[in-house]
Amino acid sequence: MRVSLSVIAAMALVIVSARGARAQDEITFIAPNILRAPIEQIIPGFEAKTGHKVKATFGAEAGTRQQILKGEPFDVPVVEAPDADAIASGNVVASSETQFANVSIGIAVRKGAPKPDISSADAVKRMLLAAKSISFPDPSGGAAAGVTVAEALKKLGIADQLQPKIKPSQGGARAMAMVASGDAEIGMTFVNAMTDPGIDVVGTLPREVSAPTVFVGFVSTHAKDPAAAKEFLAYLSSPEAAAAFKAQHLQPGP
């Protein structure tokens, strides 16, 4: 049986329109790697509740930030707060800023090792100066945890003194593996990456040394559907999302 060209054309138009509608309804999201685990848990609940689809992209914090500053077309971008440059770029809607999670830098030692005092800035300073070796994510690669640790060491005024004993790692998990194996005496990274069974978590750095890193999301000025993007941001600060953040050792909210 022959099918007329007009029927084929009509069918093709329906298919193309359906694909276009799906693309229009898909929310594109970009965030630092540290948020991958909780966000991947959060997305299915949001999709089931709203019918929107979310396509998430994760990378090193410095890299994702540059993508946002360049104006790459993501619907919902995430940065560390505060970030005046992201707002000044004109690529995000400033009034849509939503703080939804934060995480602190923790201190870890090999399992069974004595836990040092980290209750104050002076105690942390003494502990680090006395340590034989220290590992944390390499800040030169843009790792958010590494950058935060490096800033804390500068704040304590001991960054230069510690250089000979620092063993930079590729990511927080690798830093913890070095502590577990005895290659490093002290490990520092975001607490959500401290999952190696061969370590003991001492605690988090005092706020006077390093305040928690806060993550904020925006509706992009390039968003295909600003209302849907805003809906996803609201969900990120919902009780359902809070449970996922807590399960991954991040704190919900600002």
Residue 144's pLDDT band (cuts 50, 70, 90)? confident
Residue 132's pLDDT band (cuts 50, 70, 90)? very high
SS (H, E, C) 21-64: HHHHHEEEEEEEHHHHHHHHHHHHHHHHHHCCEEEEEEECHHHH
| Contact of 167 with 133, CB cutoff 8 Å | yes
Q: What is the mean pLDDT of residues 172-183?
A: 97
Q: What is the pLDDT of residues 6-46, one digit of tens each?
A: 444 344 444 333 344 444 579 999 999 889 999 999 999 99
DSSP character string of 80-129: EEP-HHHHHTTSB-GGG-EEEEEE-EEEEEETTSPPPP-SSHHHHHHHHH
> Looking at the chain, how many residues does it have?
254
Structure tokens at 69: 């500053």
Collect all residues with Cβ–Cβ distance below 8 Å to 39 and sequence separation of at least 6: 29, 31, 56, 58, 244
Pick the CATH number of 105-204 from 3.40.190.10, 3.40.50.2300, 3.30.465.10, 3.40.50.300: 3.40.190.10
**Domain range list for the chain:** 5-101+214-252, 105-204
The amino acid present at 148, given as its one-letter code, is T
The pLDDT of residue 4 is 52
| Contact of 214 with 162, CB cutoff 8 Å | no
CATH code, residues 5-101+214-252: 3.40.190.10
Question: pTM of whole model > 0.75?
Answer: yes
Q: What is the pLDDT of residues 75-85, one digit of tens each?
A: 999 999 989 99
